[in-house]
Chains A and B, each alone.
Chain A
Amino acid sequence: MGAVVGLPAIGYLISPATKVQKKEGWIAVGKLENYPVGTPTLFSFNRTTVNGWEKTVNSYGAYVVRFSSDQLKVFSNLCTHLSCRVSWKEDLKEYVCPCHDGHFDSEGIVTAGPPPKPLREYETKIEDGTLFIHFVEG
């Protein structure tokens, strides 16, 4: 009796949580030459997923860092602490998270605050001078 009533009730409530969506894909972030060498530059992009009855547009950010003309890294701007968005502070030469004051250096390494891991780095590839990043969240 308990199961007859309880299982549909629980199933009803947790149903959206059981559908895991993959948002994986290669995203073009523009011509490599548009990104300055030395300064991390933010590239913003949207990903659309279906949640329940509606399409949710989430915006994400990637910091493209060109250490030299042929050496680059691309970091996610998701703070590894609790997923607020970090931003590059040129005067500090650090990424700073506004929520709990996490700091990361230009290589994404934690220098202060609560984040447990370095910033997530995107896999990259360059085709015909255009930079792509491999987006794998979700």
Chain B
Amino acid sequence: MAAKVFAWIDERLGLTPIYNTIFDRHVPKVNWWYTLGSASLFLFALQVVTGIFLSVYYVPSPDHAYESIEYIMNGVAFGWLIRGIHHWGASLMVLFVFFHMLRTFYYAAYKFPREITWLTGVVLLLATLGMGFTGYLLPWNQRAYWATTVGTEIAGTAPFIGDFVLRILRGGNDLSAVTLARFFAVHIWFLPAIIALIIGVHLYLVIRIGISAVPKEED
């Protein structure tokens, strides 16, 4: 019965060719370092899910941000778990994306015909760091406040445009409610949208071109 239902759906949606294209590809014999990309993708999905859950209670306002997180941690059932996963997942994602880049670099997998895969990967790495930077402010505690003060000041040291960039980042001269609101917007909308889109291109290229083999001595 189930097979019949599936066949009916498959005939109309064409699921089997999609499955074959994505999961039934021919791949060279590779090692564990090749799992870092999938691991990064998994962590991104985990961050999206836990992030959506956190947004149920989190309020991006200086008056309530800290208290709302305290409520998530102490008042909401399993709030500590959701936030804990988001917190540690963020650090892990930066690590995994970075090691994924190192693997690609040391195996020279960025060369023809995979240049665009590499370039989109660069955007993904920077966007991941941007997620870390913007997410760090959201608890609105002392550490967050001063880390963002320092981080935006670093942007401010750029010659000529530094001061303007600093004010764009902060939404004014000071770290304020405007800063928290725009960091929140960038953290939950702008960067995730960019990351999701670029992951699409990145994966399309992986499927289209296939993955590189481990370099041999004669390569």
Contact = CB atoms under 8 A, between A and B. Distances in A.
Most buried by A among B150, B170, B175, B176: B176
Interface residues of A, number: 20
The 8 A-B pairs with the shortest beta carbon distances in the complex, nearest first, are: A51-B176, A17-B167, A16-B171, A52-B178, A82-B153, A56-B176, A17-B168, A82-B150
Contact of A138 (B146, B153, B173, B175): B173
Nearest to B62: A54
A14 interface: yes
Contact of A17 (B62, B149, B164): B164
Contacts of A14: 168
Given A21-B172, A51-B174, 18 more contacts: A14-B168, A16-B171, A16-B178, A17-B164, A17-B172, A19-B172, A49-B172, A51-B177, A51-B178, A51-B179, A52-B171, A52-B181, A53-B177, A54-B62, A54-B177, A56-B175, A84-B146, A138-B173
Nearest to A15: B171
Contacts, number: 58
A68 interface: no
A71 interface: no
B149 A82 contact: yes
A99 interface: yes
Contacts of A138: 173-174
A80 to B, nearest CB: 10
B9 to A, nearest CB: 40
B154 interface: yes
Interface in B14-67: 62
A84 B172 contact: no
Label chain B's interface by main secondary structure: helix
Interface of A: 13-14, 16-21, 49, 51-54, 56, 58, 82-84, 99, 138
Contacts of B149: 82-84
Contact of A83 (B153, B167, B176): B153
Contacts of A52: 171-172, 176-178, 181
Interface string B59-92: 0001000000000000000000000000000000
Contacts of B178: 16, 51-52
11 contacts: A17-B168, A20-B173, A49-B173, A51-B177, A52-B176, A56-B177, A83-B149, A84-B150, A99-B146, A99-B150, A138-B174
A56 B174 contact: yes
A14 B171 CA distance: 7
A13 B186 CA distance: 11
A54 B174 CA distance: 12
Contacts of A83: 149-150, 153
A50 to B, nearest CB: 9
B48 to A, nearest CB: 23
